[in-house]
Structure 1
Amino acid sequence: MAVLKFRVYLEEDDSIYRDVAIKHTQSFFQLHQVILKSYEFDNKHQATFYRSNDNWQRGREITLEKYEKRYEAPPLLMQETLIGSEIKNPSQKFIYIYDFVKNWSFLVELIGVTKDENSRLEYPAVIRTEGIAPSQNGTKGLMGHDKLSEVEEKYDLLIGTEGFGEKNEDGEDLPSEESGEASGEEEQ
């Protein structure tokens, strides 16, 4: 049974991507679910795939459900469409759109095909994660907002913001406490 390996790029930043492995007999719905899981997105919004060419132009639509919009051709449904049926060339590409309001766009590219299944994996599977995924509903950094507040309080980041050092009335640098000059100690 063929296992397909796809690289799923965030359209705005190709340094953020996830590699997923899926059997050719699995559906686009399962690919949709593993992409959401890999980027830590919820599963509450509309979604669609477009078959694409090497120039990332949108072709045949493979949608989660039939939406109230005008289609050039009737869309295929993710639940009913097997991945293998839509692979037309060895570097097949798809565009995946999630949440039509926020319009998350992902570029999905076939990067490998193997006949051997990994018995330790449950397909579809996330096999590589590169870069920090964006937050689905706002910004996400290395620390959450509450953690940043704790850091600000702990280190009181507002003290000393007027300059980088302290000076006396004549504009000369004041001695630092670390050197011992401020306490009157002399080096011998």
Structure 2
Amino acid sequence: MILNKFAFDDLHDTEPLLLDIETDLQQDRIWLVGTYSYQNDAYRQFFDPNDESGLLQELSEYLDNHGSEPIIYYGGNYFDEQCLSRRFEEHGIPEGIDHLERAHDLGITAQQELFGPFNRHKLDVVASALGFEYQDPTVDGFLVGSKYTRYLLDGEEPDWDQLKQYNNDDVTALKTIVDHIRS
């Protein structure tokens, strides 16, 4: 149940762009960004485990092409937005930072305005309560970050497809929540 429908105005009468990032455990390197555009009805992933600057430049150009859409992510703590801002700044991509002015952490709003059959407001919990199922429920953000960090430390290649699937699942889980709110 939505307690205050006006709290979700960013989702109504717009074509939001959904976003989810993956980082190393220290949260100082972005190597995968998943998106879903309502405008294009399309998923897209930006993946480069070795060139964060190139990945962020490509993401910034993509955000340029979706300049009027609110950017929606689900952290509950501004994680994606703060991490992207730091990394855009580190790599000298000021236009990337500018795009974040239209970013909105749906996790924060959900904590305040969604009431339902869930005991926590984490992305997976809320999406699961709405019927979403992860492809591999044994994979979580910590495991993904751990596998990438291990890759950075010792070069051990993880199953990239499994990690990309987890990211895609997170974007799809977010879409499940957004679709519920918009309906």
- Fold-level match, TM-score > 0.5? no
Bigger CA radius of gyration: 1
TM-score (norm 2): 0.24
The structure richer in strand per residue is 1
TM-score (norm 1): 0.24
The structure richer in helix per residue is 2
